[in-house]
Chains A and B, each alone.
Chain A
Amino acid sequence: MPISLYGFLEGDTVGLLILADDGDTLEVLAGKLQAAASLRVAARDVVRVVYKDQTMDPTMTVAQAGWEALDRFDVLSG
């Protein structure tokens, strides 16, 4: 099931609306945000997904993480 999220990539100048599937892993989600912001931010190989100040397990799915529509997530270096 699709879910719209506010994504913020470290290095970017604006937050983006990211359409995730609840079966997407957070690693896949980080890739979607990096691709969406690639005009302004160079892709990084090693990133982590942060939600409510917690670094998340990248193998977890959006559904497992319990995220809801219009939640904020961040993708940071390292």
Chain B
Amino acid sequence: MLSREEWLPLARKLDWDYSYVREDEVFPEVISGRPWLPHSEWKDWEESFKTSYREYVDNQYEKDMAVQAVHDAVGRIENVQKLAVPWLNSLKVHAAALPLAEFTGVIGNLRGARFGRDSAWRTMATFGALDEYRHTQIPLLLFHPLLRLDSQFDWAHKFYHTNNWFAVAARHFFDELTVGQNAIEFHIATNVVLETGFTNLQFVGLASLARESGDHMFERMVTSIQTDEARHAQIGHPVLATIMKHDPKYVQYLVDKWFWRNWRLFSILTGLSIDYLTAPEQRPYSFKEFMEEWIIDQFLRTLDEFGLEKPWYWDLLLDELDIYHHMIYASAYSYRATLWFNFVMPGPAERKWLRQKYPKYWDDMDAVWEQISERWRTVGPGAANELAVHGTAMPTFCDLCQMPLSAGTPRKNTARVLVHDGRKYIFCSEPCQWIFLHEPERYASHKDIVKRVLSGEAPSQLPNLLMEYFNLTPETWGKDVHHGDYEWLGARKHSAA
């Protein structure tokens, strides 16, 4: 009988020469990816985990049991009810954004499992698909009982099936990253940029944030997911290394493009969670400090390891660390009924903390919060006054990332209009326009929310837009967690009542 060390290479390396079809018919460039290379260029593809199916199943079983044990011990509704209200809303954000995005990862990995260019790659991608199934099912399982606590948790299932503006943006991202992607771009963009660059470390940071917030269930869940990510993220590295030998400019483009696209989504999900939806005394760091310590340094080391340059927009990205998610949060707060979770308004103590952490542009952000506070003082607190402290004009969206046009600073918004093939587009930033112009055939026909409203595809009146198109209800749409009832706001201004 063969030993494990003798058997595993035989089981993982099962490539053969085709006799009645050509290799480029078995692995067409359109779905395997470019540059198309013969298998001789891929035969040394290898990664460090070298797991067998039996080992995989045994290992995953142990991890599932550990998650179940923590769920049984501290995952009941009464445990969740003890969490701070802002953190509960951070949970709703992740409950919606995470599970079905992971399911798109199943599809991407299965593409690698069929169209990856070496058998060991295909084996690992099969495990990657099973991982992503797990990452879909665990959060759905854990968040479903919370529906009895709060109907906004319904969005764990519902989010990607709606035309909510944030769902449109997230779907635009994941459809390109995973669902409609060739195997090479999928594994470089997902494993190297998203997972090695962002989520692998993001989950470590999120687990730490959850621990500080007393949310041991979420901490255990993301820790368990992170251990899978650390393994299957390795698939992309030998893919990238092989393509680097043949077309380094293409690799640089993919890394530049996907780091920016990931940043747009990540900065909103994680930036808002750390700096606004975690109680100030429970924040172990600011989002900017987290980025600098966990993401930026590590990403630069990865680039260096592969002989890649920093993305051309690097200085712009570093500048955005100080402002982008703050612009988004203030905008989203003032259009909170368009989302499925509730918001907290930063008071004097939080704003003092934010000023210390973000001195560069905070004066301008503080003026915005002062103005919103003034509106609450004028109308007075209460659920009935929510829509009196809410935007009425249509906010606008980027034609690439589909996020609000909230880039730049309050003094200088960086949105830019482009006419392409006789049609007008608007982008939040130079990198979003740059990505569009590299692959206009991929993006040009997509309509953002504004274009859908203008074409009559979506309703123009806010209540209709919220209920008919964004699938929200007065019960589930976002509100201020205190309905403007903050002690620090002081007395209502009777003269303007």
Contacts and interface: CB of A to CB of B under 8 A. Distances in A.
Interface string A1-37: 0001010101111111110000000000000000011
Contacts of B368: 11-13, 40-41
A14 B371 contact: no
12 contacts: A8-B413, A10-B410, A12-B413, A13-B365, A13-B368, A14-B331, A17-B393, A17-B395, A39-B371, A39-B389, A39-B390, A70-B417
A4 B327 CA distance: 23
A74 B405 CA distance: 13
Interface in B389-422: 389-396, 404-406, 410-411, 413, 415-417
Interface in A18-71: 18, 36-42, 68-71
B268 interface: no
Interface in B241-278: none
B393 A36 contact: yes
Q: Is the interface of A mostly helix, strand, loop or mixed?
A: loop
Contacts of B417: 6, 70-72
Nearest to A68: B424
A37 B424 contact: no
Contacts of B416: 72
Nearest to A15: B405
Q: On chain A, which size bracket covers the interface?
A: 20 to 34
B372 A15 contact: no
B204 interface: no
A42 B312 CA distance: 37
Interface of B: 326-328, 330-331, 334, 364-365, 367-368, 371-372, 374-375, 389-396, 404-406, 410-411, 413, 415-417, 424, 426, 450, 453-454
Given A11-B364, A13-B328, A13-B406, 13 more contacts: A4-B454, A11-B411, A13-B331, A14-B405, A14-B406, A15-B406, A17-B396, A36-B391, A38-B371, A39-B334, A39-B390, A40-B391, A72-B415
A26 B395 CA distance: 20
B371 A41 contact: yes
A14 B327 contact: yes
Interface of A: 4, 6, 8, 10-18, 36-42, 68-72, 74
Given A6-B417, A39-B389, A13 B411 contact: no
B396 A14 contact: yes
Contacts of A10: 410-411
Contacts of B404: 14-15
A40 B330 contact: yes
Contact of A6 (B326, B330, B364, B405): B405
B393 A6 contact: no
Contacts of B396: 6, 14-17
Contacts of A38: 371
Nearest to A40: B368
Nearest to B369: A40
A39 B410 contact: no
Nearest to B368: A40
B334 A15 contact: no
Sorted nearest first, the 5 A-B pairs with minimum C-beta distance are A36-B393, A15-B405, A17-B394, A14-B331, A15-B396
Contacts of B331: 13-14, 40
B374 to A, nearest CB: 8
A11 B374 CA distance: 16
Contacts of A40: 330-331, 334, 368, 371-372, 391
A75 B390 CA distance: 21
Nearest to B406: A14
A61 to B, nearest CB: 21
B186 to A, nearest CB: 32
Contact of B410 (A12, A36, A42, A69): A12
Contacts of B334: 13, 39-40
Nearest to B365: A13
Given A14-B327, A70-B417, A36 B450 contact: no
A17 B327 contact: no
Contacts of A12: 368, 410, 413
A70 B394 CA distance: 13
B371 A16 contact: no
Nearest to A52: B417
B377 to A, nearest CB: 13
A68 B423 CA distance: 12
Contact of B371 (A17, A42, A70): A42
A44 B464 CA distance: 32
Nearest to B334: A39
B391 to A, nearest CB: 6
A4 B448 CA distance: 15
